[in-house]
Structure formats: C-alpha cells, structure tokens
C-alpha cells in the first residue's frame, strides 16, 4: 500500500488553537503535534472538545485563533487527497449502492470513479462484504454501513486518517475488526489520528495520546509516559496486623483489615520485602500492579472527567 516515509516529521500540527461557540470555549489554546506514521489518540470525556479540535485541524471549521498544519500544508483542503476522515456522525446517501458510496468518497478525494469502484469491491471483499456491494446503503445493517463508510475513508489510500469516535456504535466483533484495520493501516506507514472516550482502545492502539478535558490538553505523550505518572500500586495481605515492618509502608497507605494498598516506595520492592520478611509480617499475598491508562486518566484529567469516560474493556461501548 503506502509504505511511505513522510517528508514531514509531524503529520498534524496545531498551535494555540481556540474555538468559541458564543460564550462557551470549546477549545482553549490547544497545542498538538502528531508524529508522522504513528497511531495517535485524542482521549477525553464527552464535550471535552475532541470533535471540535479534529474539525479545526481538518479545516471543516476555522479556529478563532491559532495555526494548524496538515501534512505540511496550512490549508488542510490542499492535502485533501492524502487525508481520510470518518466523522463522528456517520452519513451516507441511503439510495446509493454500497460500492458506489465508497467510490464517491474516493472521488471526492481525487480518485476516479472507475478506480474507486474497483478498489471498493476489493476492500468489501477483503472485509467479507462482497455480497453487500451492490445493495443500497439503506438495505445494510448499521454495522455494515459503518464499515462501508470506513472503507470509503481509506479507498483513496491516504497518508493520514482521522477518525472521530470510530468505535462508537460498533459491536465487539466489529470493534476488533476496526482495531485490526487501524493497525494494518499504521503498518503501511499511514498516520492515524483518532478520538475516543473509550480508554481501552487508546491503551491498546496508541503510541501517543493527548488527554483533553475542558477544551485543554492535560497530558500529551506516550501511553507509558501517562502511566508512569503514577507509581505502581502495591497490594499486600498479611497474617499479622502490626509490627515493625509497617515502617516500610508510606504514611498514606490504605488499610482494610489486614489488606494494605499503597504506592510502591521510591526505594523499590526489595527493601519492602526485606522489612516484611525480617519483621515476620506473614505475607499471605503480594502484588505490584502497574497503573492502567484509566488510572492515569483519572489522575491527569480528574475524577469528574473520568466519570464521563467510556468502559475500560472492549465491546462495552456498543
């Protein structure tokens, strides 16, 4: 497919982007840079400003302030042929045949209709939809129609794919298929920028993420960077309830009967273990868990924002 090495280091750049709707500031001075060839997730609760940010970056709307650049062009439409976009609100002409809908979306991005139809059939065949190719969109199931739209997004073989809440409305099987498709595109060197309010997808797919809340970016970096903002969690169960070994625990350790939960101290696990053994604490169980992206999200965006976030596991969103 593409096998590209992008000539620009960042496929998407935005600096000081601001967008107000009346008195409401949807995007409040966001800086974003998506490295070329990566899968980049914009994570945030509903109403965080994710869609507005993507629409501004794509040139659907202009910002009130700030600059943007897509594949090196300050006017996003100049790069329209190299970009694929799946909006949050899916839309297809109901009377169009599925394969024609894909070809039409390709034609909008510069592909000839003939080529679009040919590629459309190939793509539909590859996704087990060859029987639906000549059916009108209105005759397709919701999942099939969404897949058709997604195939229309990639039919012209873009260098950058922007997906706004791509998993929303899909069942678990189709979510997995979509994840596979995103990975396959990324393997071909395509930059993927997608927004989601489902942490699990971002955690599984993204190399880098931006956590957006209240129109601002609260965190930008790799998933492991986000996780490393929190210390690993120690969960310990002892037979004895007290002893000198307790001095090895941090002061804010939580206790429930003989179960202890606390951040792993800076000194690491060995001194802790030594204290427990020497003090004869009677270890029933000990686990050290690396925090998930959800925990990182709660820590970064706040618990209120996390309440609006989707489920942690795949498939629950549907």
9, 46, 93, 255: which one binds other proteins (CB under 8 A) = 93
| 26's tokens | 């949807």
C-beta of 104 vs 245, nearer to other proteins: 104
Residue 280 backbone zone (phi > 0: left; psi -120 to 50: alpha; other: beta): left
Site string for other proteins, 47-76 (x = CB under 8 A): --------xx-xxxxxxxx-x---------
Site for other proteins contains 104 (CB under 8 A): yes
Stretch near other proteins under the rule CB under 8 A, chosen from 37-45, 78-86, 247-255, 298-306:
78-86
108, 184, 244, 269: which one binds other proteins (CB under 8 A) = 108
Site for other proteins contains 187 (CB under 8 A): no
Any idea what DSSP says for residue 105? H
Indicate the pairing of strand 10-21 with strand 24-35. Answer: antiparallel
Stretch near other proteins under the rule CB under 8 A, chosen from 92-100, 199-207, 216-224, 261-269:
92-100
C-beta of 65 vs 184, nearer to other proteins: 65
We find the least distance from the C-beta atom of residue 22 to other proteins, in angstroms, to be: 10
Element of type H or E holding 70: strand 65-70
Outline where the chain has alpha helix (H).
Answer: 50-58, 98-108, 113-126, 142-154, 172-187, 199-205, 223-227, 269-278, 293-301, 303-307
Burial state string for 93-107 with b = 16 or more CB within 10 A and e = fewer than 16: eeebbbbbbbbbbbb
C-beta of 56 vs 272, nearer to other proteins: 56
Site for other proteins contains 159 (CB under 8 A): no
Site for other proteins contains 114 (CB under 8 A): no
Q: What radius of gyration do the chain's Cα atoms show?
A: 24
Spatial contact of 147 and 174, defined as CB atoms under 8 Å apart: yes
11, 36, 39, 107: which one binds other proteins (CB under 8 A) = 107
User: Which chain residues interact with other proteins by CB under 8 A?
Assistant: 18-21, 55-56, 58-65, 67, 77, 80, 83, 85, 87, 89-96, 104-105, 107-110, 113
């Amino acid at each position: 497919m593409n096998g590209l090495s992008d000539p620009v280091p960042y496929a998407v750049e935005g600096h000081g982007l601001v967008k107000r709707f009346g008195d409401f500031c949807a995007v409040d001075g966001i800086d974003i840079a998506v490295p070329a060839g990566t899968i980049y997730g914009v994570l945030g609760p509903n109403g965080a400003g994710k869609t507005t940010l993507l629409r501004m970056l794509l040139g659907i709307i202009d910002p009130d302030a700030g600059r943007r650049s897509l594949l090196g062009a300050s006017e996003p439409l100049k790069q329209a042929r190299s970009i694929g976009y799946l909006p949050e609100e899916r839309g297809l002409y109901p009377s169009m045949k599925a394969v024609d809908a894909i070809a039409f979306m390709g034609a909008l991005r510069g592909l000839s209709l003939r080529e679009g139809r040919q590629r459309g059939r190939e793509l539909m065949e590859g996704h087990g939809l060859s029987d639906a190719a000549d059916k009108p969109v209105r005759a397709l199931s919701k999942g099939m129609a969404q897949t058709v739209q997604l195939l229309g997004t990639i039919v012209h073989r873009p260098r950058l794919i922007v997906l706004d809440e791509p998993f929303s409305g899909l069942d678990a099987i189709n979510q997995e298929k979509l994840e596979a498709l995103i990975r396959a595109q990324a393997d071909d060197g395509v930059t993927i920028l997608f927004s989601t309010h489902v942490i699990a997808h971002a955690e599984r797919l993204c190399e880098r993420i931006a956590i957006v809340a209240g129109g601002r970016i609260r965190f930008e970096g790799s998933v492991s960077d986000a996780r490393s903002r929190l210390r690993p969690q120690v969960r310990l169960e002892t037979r004895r309830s007290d002893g000198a070994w307790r001095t090895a625990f941090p002061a804010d350790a939580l206790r429930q009967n003989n179960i202890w939960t606390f951040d792993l101290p800076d000194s690491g696990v060995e001194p802790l273990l030594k204290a427990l053994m020497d003090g004869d604490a009677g270890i029933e169980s000990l686990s050290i868990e690396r925090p998930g992206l959800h925990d990182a999200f709660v820590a970064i965006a706040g618990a209120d924002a996390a309440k609006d976030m989707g489920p942690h596991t795949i498939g629950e969103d549907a």
